[in-house]
Amino acid sequence: MSQKFDVVVIGAGPGGYVAAIRAAQLGLKTACVEKWVSPEGQPTLGGTCLNVGCIPSKALLDSTHKFHDAAHDYKVHGINIENISFDVAQMQARKRQIVGQLTGGIAGLFKHNGVELLQGAGKLLAGRKVEVTAADGSVSVVEADNVIIAAGSVPVEIPPAPLTEGLIVDSSGALEFTEVPKRLGVIGAGVIGLELGSVWNRIGSEVIVIEAMDSFLGAVDQQIAKEAKKIMTKQGLDIRLSARVTGTEIDSKAGTVTVIYQDANGEQRETFDKLIVCVGRRPSTKNILAQDSGVTMDERGFIYVNDFCATEAPGVYAIGDVVRGPMLAHKASEEGVMVAERIAGKKAQMNYDCIPGVIYTHPEIAWVGKTEEQLKAAGEDYKVGVFPFAATGRALAANDSAGMVKMIAHAQTDRILGCHIIGPSAADLCQQIVIAMEFGSSAEDIGLTVFGHPTLSEAVHEAALAVNGHAIHMANRKKRK
């Protein structure tokens, strides 16, 4: 007789493991199916985010940013460092240590909360049964009253640049370089491409970013995107827009790859020591649904769900990258909590209008809510307040004053509609406005709030004041009232 659970979660990434832990906390007998194993063959939790995504990339970003600061920016503080060097092997070892600590921590949380780990690939069968295929090929089936599909996503591959081990790599491969490429090509100027390009550029790579779109960071407020492109170009990233890759040629003898692309001037060619392909991600839904599972997908592989992540099959839910919405770890996690609580009978829900986005370049880029372009297209009446970090004492003291805070509010009600930041600690500063928007705050509410001095968050305060022409530390464009 097969095992029976209240909840079975397929996938132990940031959506799946959070859903499993929350379900167990609520008293539900819970199992989590995960196929990921470490290079040593041990079960590994955390999915893409912890193993080859969010966490390892941030470890490399922080290491290389510290090196760049020491090499280029410490002199202004009176700190002189001679003969500075970088140890890639040590950077990679530190990254692996952090990943191991965090993935091991999830295993401990599973044990503490009573979540049973089922090692293997999960597949949903009819009647809420889940088939688990272990690494040795053995197959078992468990039953559940509720199933949560949290299988995550995988990098998109493109025919003109097929992956070639050690030479043409995806985002995962780009985290494992053992030496600094002299010339590095990046296909895709999105979040992942800019972060990975920044990592290797900071420690010596000549980086060329090739982007097919004619706009830079099209999903970001374009005032912020324009500033980001200016700053990143100054940092050394060669960003080429309207450049469509048509092919690649590998020189095995030289160990190089030549990228052929088309731009406004015709066919172009660039030769690199390494090439990273990061043109987006797609849902990892291949082979996870039996034909009679009752769950349906669209032509791109996304699972159909309602506002509460319920599929068309009773008792089956899907969360994270396999469903509509932004592919973000924090979005997946909160959907996991929502679904677990709804299974337990609670009336949980998510506010999809308040999901922040972040790009962890330096300066960071973060946003929540509507962009100015979206509001214009919708015909909504709005007002804007912008405040530069260069006018804040804390940013100047830290020699980290590039960027701005942009606040957007409804013209009549003053309710905050969006906040867009490029600058130091943008991700953390933006979270203040995520909370404010969750409670329906107005720009005036933020303006009337006391902010500590001197802090970076004063830029948020001043941007909110500027919405209504009340900024103190810069000239206002509007009359004070």
User: Known catalytic residues?
Assistant: 453
Give the H or E element holding residue 4.
Answer: strand 4-10
Structural contact between residues 181 and 269, judged by C-beta atoms closer than 8 angstroms: no
Instruction: Provide DSSP, 377-428.
Output: HHT--EEEEEEEGGG-HHHHHTT----EEEEEEETTT-BEEEEEEEETTHHH
Q: How many CA atoms, within 13 angstroms, populate the side-chain half-sphere of residue 252? A: 2
CA angle 16, 19, 21 (to 5 degrees): 110
* Tokens of residue 317, six digits: 């839910």
Cβ contacts of 348 within 8 Å, gap of 6 or more: 337, 338, 341, 342
Residue recorded with tokens 């830029």: 459
Give the H or E element holding residue 121.
Answer: strand 121-124
Closest C-alpha to 20, from 155, 154, 144 = 144
Q: In whole angstroms, give the CA distance from residue 10 to residue 26.
A: 18
